[in-house]
Every structure is written in structure tokens, then in C-alpha cells.
Structure 1
Amino acid sequence: MLVDWLPGILMLVLFALEVPIAFAIAIAALSFFLIDGSVPLNIFVQKMVTATDSYPLLAIPFFVLAGGIMNKAGITARLLVLADALVGHLTGALAQMCTVLATLLGGLTASSSADAAMLAKILGPEMVRANYSPAFAAVITSCAAIITALIPPSIGLIIYGYISDTSIGRLFVGGIVPGLLLAGALMTVTAVIAKKRGYLPRRREFAGAPALGRAFVDALWALSIPVFIVVGIRYGIFTPTEAGAITVLYTILVGRFAYRSLYFADLPRVMKETVLDTSSVMIMICAASAFGFYLAWERIPPQMANWLVSLTTNPILLLLLINALLIVLGTAIEGTSALIILTPIFVPILAKLGIDPVHFGIVLVTNLTIAGVTPPVGQMMFISSQVLRVPMEDYTIEVLPFLAAMCLVLVALTLFPQITLFLPDLVYGRGP
């Protein structure tokens, strides 16, 4: 019946009206309780509140706080020097440095939005001063931030692991190779465009082994953090949630005593920013929990499952169809909210067809994070464009070749599961 789908339709309408994502989901969920009448209204509040009663979700504020501390401690500057030593001699050096820096930062910030803001503020003006197109600068700073969604720790992978009951440790390890592939694709497109437009290198030659070695040693404490997280989770020293807390302590020690650039007086401001960033994510998760109750009550996931399976039972073809659907949805729905809503719908379908949840998790997070740079509602697009004052129409034209390259990587991840799974299988052993 059409009335069963009204809350979902209402949510899409509210998205189109640019109602804040969390409120749009919550209002749509509340409408179900008001329309149905057979479910007590207090269940809506209970579902909102119980969503916060989750031990794994504690990892989100911890990793966000750790990223804020690393930024305040000046780690970005050291990693920028390392990126310069690695690729400063290439055509389009500043743009190439942007991708390398995003790859190095991926294991530190845990937030694509945070990376987009940081890269746009640090490297965006430098590119414009070096006669790069402002639209190009906005595009590369936002696209490079996608890498953060895959290289551990990743908030998107934590949320997916929590909702789908998938090993977060395996997801973290599984995101490393896809993250590096995305970086390679972005650097390839950058090289082609930079050569055509004459975007110059910063120097004529490679910096040399001594300079690279000094930059590497200076950034070693920062680079050790992702390794510290993955090794600790792999060998059972701590859980992913505990890893977040320990990483906060580790980054404070590194910033204060190793680099001597963090002061304890800085921590209250960092913690305030963390509370604001975490609250926006948690409100969305709470609203999605109530919306998920509506989906389960009306048996919408099984209905959608039956419809998808009626199209094909071939696992790879089904994944490609889901990717096509997600790309369309991603142009209208913000990535994190889509992840929260769609994970409980798709995971049971694909589990029946034997698709590894780690493989699907990486494909899903990659797809929905690409939506973050896709007009009209891409969050990273808005951040970079706002910082560099770039009109959406200019951004849209400039982003097309980068979107094409990232979609090719997405198709490769879909068709060849071992790209994602071989490293988790190597580290953890073959999954069940």
C-alpha cells in the first residue's frame, strides 16, 4: 500500500527541501508513528534514545577527538613537508601533494569532512596563487578527502560495522588497498590535467634521499598512529572502541612530548569541537534508529530484497545494480545518512547470496563517500567550494574527470573482491 511508503517519500521530500538531514529522518520516522496508530508513540523516543546505548559507537568521539588533537599539534605541517619531498618534483605538484597529504592524514583525522576543510584551507589558496583554477583546487581538495573514508580509522566503516555486525578490524584493514587505489587514480587524472594546463612542479628534481629521509623521520610519530591502531586491534591488545581511547592518549603524548607543539590549554577547545562534530553524527544515528524501526515494521527490507533478487541472483550483477542505485541516491542524499539507512536493507540480501560483508562494506562506503563530492548535495563539495568561493556550476564541470576515475576504481572493487579481501585474509586469516 502507498501509505506504507509515505514516511520514506516524506523523507525524500524533506531532503529536496534542504531540511537538515537528521531532522528530515526524524520527522519521517515520527510520521510513521503518527499515521500508523497501532504503535505507541513512546516507542519513537525509546528507539532514538537506545541507539546511543552502544559500546562500539564510542569509537566515533574518540577518533574525532584524536584527529582534532593531531591537527592542533601541527602534525599536518610535518606531513606536508613529507608530501613535498615525495611529489614536489611532479607536474601539478601542489595538487599531487594534496592527494598524498590526504592519504597520510587518512589514518589520523577519521573524517572526510575534516580533511576537506583542512586541505582547502592549507593548499587551496596556495594553488590559486600558483595560477591553478580555483574550481580545480576545490575539486582536488574535496576528492582527495574521500581517501579518509577508507584508510583506518574511518567513521563510515565504524558505523557500517556497528549496524551490520561486521568485524571493524577486518574493515579497517580491508580499506587500505582501495584507499591507495583511489589515491593513484586521483594522481593520474591530476597529472593529465596539470600537463595540459601547465601547472608547474615546485622544483626540477626529486628532493633526494637525504631530504626525504629527514621528512620521514620528522613525520614518523604521526605515521605510526594508523599502524598502532591496526596492529593493536589485530593482536587483541584492544578493541576498536578501546583503540579510539588509547589513540587519544597516544596523540596527546606525541603532540606534547614528541613534537612539543601541543599545550594542555588547547584541549578544551578541541574537545568542544569534538562534541559538536560527534553530536551531528549521533543525532543522525538516533533518527535513523527510529526510521529503521519503521522499515522493519513495514517489512520494507524484505520487499526490496525480493524485488532485487527478482532482477538477478548473480552476486556481482546485483552488486553492480546496487552501485548504480547508490550513485543515483548519492546525488540527493548525504553519504552518512544513506549509509545508516541502507546498510540494514542491503546486508541481509547480499549475505544470502554469499557476498562477504567486508567486501560490500568497502564498496558501500566508497560509493557513498564519492557522493560527498557529487553535486548537488556533496558535503565535501560544499566545504571546499565555500572556502575557495567556487560556484557550483564551475565545480561540476571540473569534477567530471575525477568522478570518472573514482567510478572506475569502484567498479574494480565490485568486480574483484580480492582487491578488498586479500589483506584482511592475510592479517586475520580467511573469513568464514
Structure 2
Amino acid sequence: MAEILFPALFILLALGLPVAFAMAISVFLALSFGSSYPHLVVVKEMFAGLDSFPLLAVPFFILASEIMTGGAVTQALLRLAQSLVGHLRGGLGHANIVSSAMFAGISGSALADAAGPGAMMIRMMEKGGYDRGYAGALTIASAVVGPIIPPSITMIIYAMQDQSVSVGSLFMAGILPGLLITALVLTANARMSHLRGYASGTARPPLPEIARIALYAVPALFLIVLIVGGIRFGVFTPTEASVIAVFYALFVGMFVYRSLRLRDLPRIVLQAALTSAAVLLILGAARAFAWVLIIEGIPQFLAETIISWDLSPIVFLLAVNLLLLAFGLFMDPLPGVMILVPILAPISHSLGIDPNHFAIVVIVNLTMGLTTPPVGSLIFVVSSTVGLRPSTLIKEMPPFFLAQLMALLLITFLPFLSTWLPTASGF
């Protein structure tokens, strides 16, 4: 079946078919022409991939994100970011990056980050004299932290594939790597702003004004404290945390910022349902795809082959980096996690690599794939937002991709970046 499965998948992806449909159809073709299994097994495996209590957290976190991304919340985060770094050279670019890092603690999604505050910052940067292609590329680069700083949908799916980690430990493990990526992208923007002569945005406001802006943004930023703290102290499970996040978002939107109206809820729920359906379709199709791989014995063969090479842990991690960066050129993070983690995680454990460290290496790698052609989803989201050809954005990406690559190498060689917080917080 494998000789049909992989060519069919690559051809369908090259034709521009959505990832979920490409995987499901390739599995159907593999069963049709390469085995005697009934076609009903595709539906059965897709359903099995979704029949999970922890997976309920995904649509609820998506709904909480949709509620929290109202105008007042986004504006509060943008104003805070601009008050902190807007006075520096390249200040509007810095504000774009910092707001993405803060928004990551609300959305858990790179695409939501780029389409929400990212789109607003692109318009502000263009008015401030920045090239529109540069502003779009910077938004793509800064949105990468969305699935790395908790809460993260990708981390929830990863924890379902690797029983040696928990959602709570991954949430803690992602904080320092997410901040590291943010810092290096800030450095790249500072360098490019100096070379291109991009000036500062506005004068630095007085400290009382910054304090007032920060206080106004506290209810939005408190969501990450509520989620991570509640999970850490055993108050609720990650699935329960997602439901609490929805009610907290409703409270903040309706009674704190007063930007949410009851008449807005049907539209928000519909948008969250559509986003959730797209994510769950990918997960179901990835489960069916992974089933074919298991039946063919591919994971076992790869595991035995890699173990026979007797690699050191660091060489194995470098090889994983190369594999996942190549994989990310053609596949989104969620199916990548479902297909590759059951193969690679047991090998990493046998080599003595900390499970949280390995998880963050995998998640950062696959998330970077959102910024690389030909399938990079962030490129096409921002392209449609700013009305530019994807090639124009891609030409502006190298400095920021190099910053992300440097962050990936530091995360790979310095395990404490991923392990210190989970250990210190008791996970």
C-alpha cells in the first residue's frame, strides 16, 4: 500500500488539495489498489482519531480564542506592545512581534495570530513607512510563537500521541522557547530596521501612562495564568481548562471590555465551529493515514533502522531537525505530529532524551513549516490579508527564518530551555 499511499499524497498536495482531503483520498486509493481491506476502515479510523475526551479541549480553546479576539482585546494588546517598544528604531515592527507573543497566550494558533492582530499591525506599519512586503513577512515570522507559548492546540495533540508527557508539562515547556524565538525575531527586525532606515513609531509614553495601558490589558493576559496555573495546581484538567477559558472569555468580553454583545455570539460560534471542523478533519485523516503506515510496518522499520545506526542523542536530534524541516515543507503541524511522533518519540526516549525537550524540538520544527513554501499556511493567510503575491513575502523572509533557525539550534543544544520550567513547577 505504501507504494500507492505516498505518491498519491504528494500528487494531491501538488494539485492544491487541502491536506485533510489529500490524506483521506490517498488512504482510500491505497486500500482500493493495494490491499483487500474494506473501504469502511477509512471512516472507522477517522472516527477513532476523534473519539477522545482530551480532544474536546481543541474546539473549546478555539471558541475561547474567537471570543477573546474582539476589537477591544486586540486593541488592548496592541497598545500595550506599542507603549513598551514602539519608541525604539523599528518600533512598529517590534510592537508587531510583542503583540504576537502576548496574543499567543490567548489564541494558541499561528493562523489566528496572523489574521487577527497581525493584520492590524501590517496596516499600521504600512502607514508608518514600512514596506508592505516586509510588514507581511515580519507578521509571518512573529506568528510562529502562537502554537509554542501556551495554550497550544498542537501541544494538546502531541500529548495524545506521546503518553510520557502531559499537556500541562508541555504548556510550561513552551514558554521559554517561545520567548527565545520572540527575542531573536526582535533582533532581526532591529537589524533590518537599521539597514532600511525604519524610524521609531511614537515617543515613549510616561510610566504612569504605560502602567494604565498595562492595567487595561491585564484581564486579557490573565487567561494564560488561569489556564496554566489551574492545570499546574490540579484545579482542573486541560479539557476542563478549555471550558473555563470560554466562560472567562465571555465574562471579559461582556463585562470588562464590554465589546461583546449577545447578537455577536452566533457569528462567533459559527466561525469557531468552522475552524474546529477544519482542524478535526485533519486529525481524522491523519489517524487513517497513520493506520496504513502501521499496517505496512513502516514505523517499526524506521525505528529499527535508526536504532541500528547507534546515533548519539545530539546527532539524532540534528537528524530529526533536518527530517522535520523537510517534512514541514509539505505538511501542516497537526498531521505531522500525528504521523511522526509515534515513530520518533519512542526512539528519543530510548536514547535518554527528555520527553519535554524532544516535544518542543518537534513542535518548533513543524511550526516553522508554516512559514516555508510550497504549503506554508501562514504565507497564504498573510498574502490574502495584505493583497500581495506569496513570492513577494517569501523574498522578505530569509532574515527572520535565520532567526528562527538559530532559536531552533539553541533549543536543540540547550535542553534546559524546555525542561527547567516543567521541572521547577512540579511536572
- TM-score, normalisation: structure 1: 0.95
Find the counterpart in structure 2 of residue 338 from structure 1.
Answer: 336
CA distance in 1, matches of 2:58, 2:369: 21
Find the counterpart in structure 1 of residue 237 from structure 2.
Answer: 239
Partner amino acid, structure 2, of 1:285: L
More divergent stretch after superposition (259-268 vs 88-97) = 259-268
CA distance in 1, matches of 2:330, 2:183: 28
Deviation string, structure 1 residues 377-407 (Cα, Å, up to 9, x no partner): 2111111122112223322221001101100
Deviation string, structure 1 residues 186-211 (Cα, Å, up to 9, x no partner): 1000001101111111234x323211
Deviation at 1:5, TM superposition (A): 3.4
Find the counterpart in structure 2 of residue 199 from structure 1.
Answer: 198
Deviation string, structure 1 residues 91-112 (Cα, Å, up to 9, x no partner): 1111100011001111111111
Find the counterpart in structure 1 of residue 367 from structure 2.
Answer: 369
Taking the TM superposition and a 5 Å limit, the aligned residue runs for 1:240-389 are 240-389=238-387
Residue 104, structure 1, aligned to residue 102, structure 2: yes
Report if aligned partners of 1:119, 1:141 keep a CA contact under 8 Å in 2: no
CA distance in 1, matches of 2:390, 2:250: 39
Find the counterpart in structure 2 of residue 187 from structure 1.
Answer: 186
Q: Runs (4+) of structure 1 moved beyond 4 Å?
A: none
Partner amino acid, structure 1, of 2:45: K
Partner amino acid, structure 2, of 1:306: E
Deviation at 1:73, TM superposition (A): 5.7
Report if aligned partners of 2:154, 2:333 keep a CA contact under 8 Å in 1: no
The one of 156, 161, 174 equivalent to 1:163 is 161
SS at match of 1:428: coil
Gaps of 5+ in 1: none
Find the counterpart in structure 1 of residue 116 from structure 2.
Answer: 118
Report if aligned partners of 2:24, 2:42 keep a CA contact under 8 Å in 1: no
Report if aligned partners of 2:78, 2:117 keep a CA contact under 8 Å in 1: no
CA distance in 1, matches of 2:248, 2:139: 28
Deviation at 1:293, TM superposition (A): 1.0
Deviation at 1:331, TM superposition (A): 1.7
Deviation at 1:375, TM superposition (A): 1.9
CA distance in 1, matches of 2:106, 2:186: 21
Identity %: 37
Partner amino acid, structure 2, of 1:383: V
Find the counterpart in structure 2 of residue 12 from structure 1.
Answer: 10
Report if aligned partners of 1:22, 1:283 keep a CA contact under 8 Å in 2: yes
- TM-score, normalisation: structure 2: 0.96
Deviation at 1:287, TM superposition (A): 0.8
SS at match of 2:400: helix
Report if aligned partners of 2:128, 2:201 keep a CA contact under 8 Å in 1: no
Residue 174, structure 1, aligned to residue 173, structure 2: yes
1:119–1:223: structure 2 CA closer, same or farther, 3 Å change rule? closer
Report if aligned partners of 1:88, 1:207 keep a CA contact under 8 Å in 2: no
Gaps of 5+ in 2: none
1:390–1:311: structure 2 CA closer, same or farther, 3 Å change rule? farther
SS at match of 1:25: helix
Partner amino acid, structure 1, of 2:317: L
Report if aligned partners of 2:74, 2:117 keep a CA contact under 8 Å in 1: no
Find the counterpart in structure 2 of residue 83 from structure 1.
Answer: 81
Deviation at 1:154, TM superposition (A): 0.6
Deviation at 1:43, TM superposition (A): 2.1
SS at match of 2:396: helix
The one of 213, 216, 219 equivalent to 2:217 is 219
SS at match of 2:184: helix
Deviation at 1:85, TM superposition (A): 1.0
Partner amino acid, structure 2, of 1:356: D
1:322–1:5: structure 2 CA closer, same or farther, 3 Å change rule? farther
Find the counterpart in structure 2 of residue 43 from structure 1.
Answer: 41
SS at match of 2:52: coil
CA distance in 2, matches of 1:336, 1:314: 28
Deviation at 1:155, TM superposition (A): 0.8
Deviation at 1:291, TM superposition (A): 1.1
Report if aligned partners of 1:120, 1:388 keep a CA contact under 8 Å in 2: no
Deviation at 1:312, TM superposition (A): 4.1
CA distance in 2, matches of 1:28, 1:203: 53
Deviation at 1:19, TM superposition (A): 1.4
Partner amino acid, structure 1, of 2:169: R
